[in-house]
Every structure is written in C-alpha cells, then in structure tokens.
C-alpha cells in the first residue's frame, strides 16, 4: 500500500522525520463541540493581519480501534470559560461525543495535547479514561508561579491532581512515545511548555492530529508558525515533520480550522471522518 512505501522511504531518511512503524488501522474523527466567533487571524498565524477575523472550530478528536476509544483533547465546559468567551453552538464535549455514539464511560484513554483550558478542562467528563500528558508539561504548570497569563487554570490543575490520585494519570516521557499499538505521541511543537501531537494509522495512511501545534491549514500552506509558540523555529520544524510523517498535508489535522468539516465528510453535522 502507498503509505507502506512512504514509511520505508521515511525510515531510510532517518532522523527526527522517521515515521512511526505501521500499525493496526484505526478510525479517526474530528468532533466539533463549539465555535468561537470573530477571532483575530494574528492570534493564530504569525504576522497575519490583525483586522482579519475568523471563526474557530472547537473540537475533540476520536481514535477508535483495537478495543480502545482514544480521545485527543477533552474540550472545556466549566462556567468560567463559557462566561469569558463568545462561545456559539456549545455542547458539553461529553454530550458531543455521546451524540456521536460513544458513551463518556466508554472512553478508554485521553491524550491531552497541552494544558490550555479549551483542550484540557473536559478531562473529568470521562470517568474511566487513562489520561496521557507529557510529564514536562504537567510538572511545569503544576507550579502556580507558571500559571500567570499561561492559558492554564488552577481549577484544571486541581482536576488533573484528582485524576492522578485516582491512578488514571499517565505521564509521557518525551518524544515518539507509543500509547497504543500504532498510536504515537510527539513533542517539539512548542505551543506550550511541552505540547504534544498524535499519530494513528488509518486505512488511508498515517493521520496526524496536530492540535494547536498547527492552528489552521493556512499555517502549513503558507509555512507560517502559529502565533502562540515558545519557539517559532521548533514549531515550523514540527509542522514539517508532521507533513513528512503523513506523506503530505492531507491527513494532518489542525487544532481549530472549521475547514476540517468541509474537507472531510462525516456521519452528522459537526463530525468529520479523517481519511
Ligand atoms: Zn492551545
């Protein structure tokens, strides 16, 4: 199959671009649970015109197969965030996932790509899930001194400490870590202290869920770093690596681009199957 050839080429090339070893095929979906209206493009794409405004899709991603139901990010639901932002078409992320046909208690794993409120806050809506976070990300933001202006909130840190006490937290020790057969997480995007992104094999090849390490398709198309990054050079290198791994940009899924739902068909409104 085509992706197999690509994988061999990639591993011959070696280095940080090496593709994950082909694994079992999963179904991968994007599920929208809200929208944010009128967001300035300059907050998303470095150097973009601040007068240009965009609507953002707020989504979680679901990877299903091999007896696992893996959510990538968990969205938000606490009132403080609903009060603070102009949120449209909101559903609690667990309700959006339930509408899709997956009960919250059936989610076996959650990969938290980073601890920003809109990706991490919903983690306790899924009571049985193991929760995977980069160790360095967790340890950094557990220090209250690092929370100011960070987009990470004390209530969410307290929630993850509860999940840790329940024995459900899994701290990931860095780059290229496999969390299920054929599902791998990567660091280097530097959206936050140690943000991660996720790859999974599908029938059409390797899908890469970039989350906010790539905000929009435009970041990749114009080769522009995300506006919010600790390191623009690392961020671009991570974007390049994602495209190399996926054998092109088609199956690289950005964190907030509503075009995900027009590029891919879904089973319902606000659902896209990544294939
Ligand atoms: Zn973010």
Residue 9 confidence (pLDDT) above 80 = no
Give distance in angstroms: CA of 8 to centre of ligand 1. 33
What is the CA 97 to chain-centroid distance, rounded?
A: 15
Q: What is the pLDDT of residues 236-251, one digit of tens each?
A: 999 999 999 999 999 9
The pLDDT value given to residue 255: 98
Give distance in angstroms: CA of 99 to centre of ligand 1. 25
Dist. CA 141–CA 161, nearest whole Å: 12
Give distance in angstroms: CA of 122 to centre of ligand 1. 14
- Taking each helix axis from N to C terminus, what angle separates 154-165 and 135-142, rounded to the nearest 10 degrees? 120
- Tokens 């949120």, located at residue: 87
Percent residues over pLDDT 70 in the chain: 93
Q: pLDDT band at 202, cuts 50/70/90?
A: very high
Give distance in angstroms: CA of 213 to centre of ligand 1. 8
Give distance in angstroms: CA of 119 to centre of ligand 1. 7
Dist. CA 269–CA 272, nearest whole Å: 8
**Domains of the chain: which residue ranges?**
2-273
Give distance in angstroms: CA of 104 to centre of ligand 1. 23
Give distance in angstroms: CA of 214 to centre of ligand 1. 10
Q: What is the pLDDT of residues 40-88, one digit of tens each?
A: 999 999 999 989 999 999 999 999 999 999 999 999 999 999 999 989 9
Q: What is the pLDDT of residues 206-227, one digit of tens each?
A: 999 999 999 999 999 999 999 9
Give distance in angstroms: CA of 200 to centre of ligand 1. 21
Lookup: tokens for 240? 């390049």
Q: pLDDT band at 266, cuts 50/70/90?
A: confident
Q: What is the pLDDT of residues 169-197, one digit of tens each?
A: 999 999 999 999 999 999 999 999 999 99
Give distance in angstroms: CA of 11 to centre of ligand 1. 31
pTM of the full predicted structure?
0.92
| Residue spans of alpha helices (H) in the chain | 2-13, 79-84, 93-99, 117-120, 135-142, 154-165, 217-221, 232-245, 260-263
Pick the CATH number of 2-273 from 3.40.50.300, 3.30.465.10, 3.60.130.10, 3.60.15.10: 3.60.15.10
């Amino acid at each position: 199959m085509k992706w197999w050839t690509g994988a061999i080429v990639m591993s011959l090339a070696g280095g940080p671009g090496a593709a994950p070893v082909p694994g079992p095929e999963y179904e991968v979906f994007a599920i929208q649970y809200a929208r944010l209206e009128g967001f300035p493009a300059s907050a998303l794409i470095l150097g973009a015109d601040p007068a240009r405004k965009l609507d953002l899709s707020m989504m979680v991603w679901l990877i299903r197969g091999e007896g696992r139901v893996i959510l990538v990010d968990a969205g938000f639901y606490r009132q403080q965030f609903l009060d603070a932002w102009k949120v449209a078409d909101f559903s609690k992320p667990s309700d959006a996932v339930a509408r899709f046909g997956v009960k919250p208690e059936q989610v076996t794993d959650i990969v938290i790509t980073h601890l920003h409120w809109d990706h991490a806050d919903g983690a306790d809506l899924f009571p049985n899930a193991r929760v995977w976070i980069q160790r360095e990300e967790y340890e950094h933001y557990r220090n209250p001194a690092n929370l100011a202006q960070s987009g990470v909130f004390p209530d969410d840190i307290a929630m993850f400490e509860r999940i840790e006490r329940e024995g459900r937290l899994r701290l990931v020790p860095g780059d290229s870590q496999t969390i299920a057969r054929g599902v791998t997480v990567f660091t280097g995007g530097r959206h936050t202290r140690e943000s991660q992104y996720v790859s999974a094999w599908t029938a059409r090849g390797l899908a890469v869920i970039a989350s906010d390490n790539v905000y929009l398709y435009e970041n990749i198309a114009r080769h522009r770093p995300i506006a919010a990054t600790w390191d623009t050079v690392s961020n671009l290198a991570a974007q390049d690596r994602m495209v190399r791994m996926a054998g092109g940009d088609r199956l690289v899924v950005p964190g907030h681009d509503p075009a995900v739902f027009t590029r891919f068909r879904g089973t319902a409104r606000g659902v896209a199957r990544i294939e």
